[in-house]
Amino acid sequence: MTTILTNGKTIPLTDIKEGDTFRFGGTVYVSTGPTGMLGGNVVIPAKRENEAMPSGWELANLMEPPTATCTICTRTNIKGLPEGHTYFTEKGYSQAYPWVEVRRTDKTVTLHKVNVQADPMWKPKIAPGGFAGHCENQSEQTWLFGGIDAEREITIRMTKRGWERRGAMFIENVAREFYDYNF
């Protein structure tokens, strides 16, 4: 799957949650467990991106002072997506839609729709099969940022299952547009 990492908000290391992708000291990490304290330092179990093997990860444990900060990374397939914002992806039945955070309380987040346009550099490869054909490269699709639609505003709520709205799930720190050509 095509993934672009963009920089989001700068936060204290103490605020990292399990599963967060973050940039610290020029290296990208994924938190693999809960953040803890040891001897006055923040301890974060994490996987470090391994430069020698681009698809592999190497284990690391960060031990830093509690005043240290990092930058949350947003995983996206949208070129030109503005940095410094918190993005969410709405999961449809087989498709996905990006949103950007505009307000947050303890239990709700208000979002505006991120508009995208098809990237002319990506073309679907359709092979015979199915009703009209099968798209062989749909997991590699990329999109171009087309602005924020302030008219399309929704509020999602934190539930036991995560962020939701009317049964639809929303994933934080991911901005992904996905059109299912094979549905």
126 plus 138 within the same structural domain: yes
| Same domain for 159 and 93 | yes
| 34 shares a domain with 13 | yes
Mean pLDDT by 10 residues, the chain (183 residues): 71 80 81 79 77 54 79 84 90 93 95 95 88 86 93 95 92 90 84
> Is residue 181 in some structural domain?
no
Which residues span the domain enclosing 64? Answer: 4-74
16 assigned to some structural domain: yes
Give pLDDT, residue 84: 85
What pLDDT shows up at residue 58?
61
Q: Are residues 63 and 123 in the same domain?
A: no
Residues 97 and 161 in one domain: yes
Q: What's the total number of domains in the chain?
A: 2
Asked which of 74, 107, 122 is the last residue of a domain, the reply is 74
> Is residue 149 included in any domain, yes or no?
yes
93 plus 116 within the same structural domain: yes
CATH number at residue 64: 2.30.30
Q: Is residue 180 part of a domain?
A: no
Q: What is the pLDDT of residue 69?
A: 79
Return the residue matching tokens 């299952």.
161
Taking the model in full, what pTM does it have?
0.76
**Is residue 91 domain-shared with residue 169, that is, in the same domain?**
yes
Asked if residue 126 and residue 59 are part of one domain, the reply reads no
Residue 107 in domain:
yes
Residues 48 and 131 in one domain: no
Separation of alpha carbons 142 and 117, rounded Å? 9
Measuring CA to CA, how many Å separate 129 from each of 124, 133, 135, 139, 143? 14, 5, 9, 18, 25
Spatial neighbors of 35 by CB under 8 A, at least 6 apart, are 13, 14, 16, 17, 42, 43, 44
140 and 96 in one domain? yes
